[in-house]
Structure 1
Amino acid sequence: MKDVFLNYWLNRSDEYGLPPRILFGFNTIDKAGEVSKQISKNKEVLIVTDKFLLSTGFIDQLSSSLEKNNLNFKIYASDVAEPTKEQVNSVIKEASEKDYGLVIGIGGGSSLDRAKIAACFGGFEDRAEDYFAPSTKILTHSKPKLLIPTTAGTGSEVSNTAVVIIPENYVGSAKTWITGKMILADAAILDPSLMINLPQRVTANTGIDALSHCAEGVISKQANPFSDGLAIEGIKLVAENIRMAYHQGENLEARWNMSMAAMLGGIVISFPWIGGPATLGHAASEGISPKYNIPHGAACGVLLPYVYWFNLKSSYAERKLSVISEAMGVDTCKMSDQKAAESAIWSTFDLLEDLDMSTNLKSYGMKEEDIPVIAKYIFERSERMYAMSGYNPRKATLENMEEFFYAAYEGREYLEKDLSKKHWR
């Protein structure tokens, strides 16, 4: 065992790749034209956005900045929903119609993902589906891209992944993705003023997605101090600001801090040792959200307390959950490690309830008879798509996956009863 442990550390090599250029601050969207001119290969620009955003003034701000810098542009707008394979092929076709020197993505994570794919495959001969996970084919080309988020959650503007929804026999549809260095933006502009008028539900769902990225990054059993430093700060920012952003959306400080938290989460999940993240939270949420039509952030949120509970039997996870509790604002000084770890569960439940978010899968339409099928699907998919055993502290089995989904189906009271009678140590 000592030799195995020694060999692990002797052979481990972490890569600290970060996005090349980030502009962060209020009204930085006004600098989009200047940045675009610097990174574009020519004067032709494709803007990828969604149809809802066209009704706001954000596109006008962007186009005005481009015009001031003598850049020509065309706008491609699609539905707000996460990109399907058909939508991906559509935006690639649009990006292939002209020799665009730059692709700009503006909107939520789905628009940014479409923009990434348009830049990487528009005008190139490769088929995007040949790179869908679990493919290990390495992408080697992309047009320059500038990403401008209008939500604070996915961190797509700084991540190395683009999500796609594809058919899945088990559950109807499921998520896959393309990942790699070429997916990263050449520049990102984060302007918190674009998020001031976000609907409350979008604020909550996207903000909890940011929390999940950071928290799952912390509990990854391959986490290191570099990723932990960013992730723990991200957790603090969400815990201290999301309620204010939700209830008083015009609060500038809360919007600034939530934008920062989302960016930190996007950076953290791009580290290879976090893997997307490849822990149970995202492995399960991305497997069920298309089936039950649960927004991605809400799916991550409803499962997060149960992910903590599932991993409590790991002494490593117990220590990490204690850190998460402290980052959430819990005074853990006089608590045992176990109680401090459990506090992460209750703090997360309280946060979800304060944001009027569901805390069980029953409320999203899951039926008890669904559990064996879903558990089997996630158990198989988590290893095939995520190699989850390399990241999640507690090893998954078919039996404990059924237990996990049953707990998430029943809700908070189930965990309260369970933890009141159990002591892991």
Structure 2
Amino acid sequence: MAYNPASTIVVVGGGQAAVELAFGLRKGGHGGRVVIISEESHPPYQRPPLSKGYLTGKVVLGDLYLRPMATYEEAKIELLLNTRVQTLDRAAQQLILDNGNSVGYDLLALTVGGRPRQLPILHQERNSTNVHYLRSIVDIDALREQARPGRRVVIIGGGYIGLEAASVAVTLGAEATVVEAMPRVLARVTAPHMSEFYESVHRSHGVRIVTGASVIAASTDDRTSEVASVTLDSGEVLETDVLVVGVGLVPNTELAEEAGLVVDGGIVVNEACQTNDPRIYAAGDCTKHPSQLHDGDLVRVESVSNAVEQGRVAARNMLGNEAVHDAVPWFWSDQYDLKLQMVGRSTNHDEIVTRGNPEEKSFSTFYLAAGRLIGADTVNRPTDFAWARRLVAKDVPVQVAALADEGVPLKSLLTYG
């Protein structure tokens, strides 16, 4: 399909991928209409700082915005906020909006992200004012107001979001309890010793961590309609003033699925970020794409770096330039005075190597498979993280002894083999 420089390109969604894609089109010289449609009332903003600096108050609202409003006008990018796409009509190449209007497209990008996974047990309590699912500015504003000194905060979920919320809660003077269904926190994303390290850190700050436990019931205060307590499968009852739920993300695939696009736990795209409809692309948390790091299998990655890279790749391909997405994903998490940075994957490894000393709160864990570095977790070691990113991406054999030896610069391992 030949590229038309005067074509109308519409981007559905208002996150990192959407902004990278839209401005990438302008940077690449696209002269046609570019439209971003977002359900949010705010202009596109960063989500990772929400449960970190923004919740503590160290990051202010304006700092969250990915671009000043004026830049959209300067780039002639139309920004439709508070607008939801109800229907995608592929035959007519048209989007039907919730206000009754329609927008036609020549090329379309779906950067629709995801929504917090709901706990079925809290179905009737989901609208309680003290129950918080952390995904938007509105969510965090409400939580910050309630997580005051002396208040009891129960957090369901011991992943990144849950642990970040716990660290902020105790920093603000509240009491925090984390309930995790798995045997350890961060069980889905890191090795046992890293989980043990973070459990120890949180307990040293006064956080109570309950693992291998599920919430089976919730009770509501008849006077306030707020959740007053939750019951665990052990029978223990936890009284709470504030309930935070962080149990994962559900990709927003309904629009694509109803339009007949291929969906398999995410909107399926190829290396060009293109769906099974050549006029429709997708990028970000909502997508499932082939990954060489996972031997070509389709994976869905919730990562800013992945969203940014996919947005850029989609823009280049929409402009008629060949580009392939296969970047190694990376992540980060801020808890107390610790910066955890992760790259690659920590699954299906056959060897683990540690560099540094966990007792000094400065160390790195490397994951290897068949002598090659496939992933790394680093704590307060930005230099290790930077070189680990390059080592994982280069996919070269590494010397295990050198990897563990702090006297050997990681940079030197790039030339090994």
TM-score (norm 2): 0.28
Q: Which has the higher helix share?
A: 1
TM-score (norm 1): 0.27
In terms of Rg, which structure is larger? 2
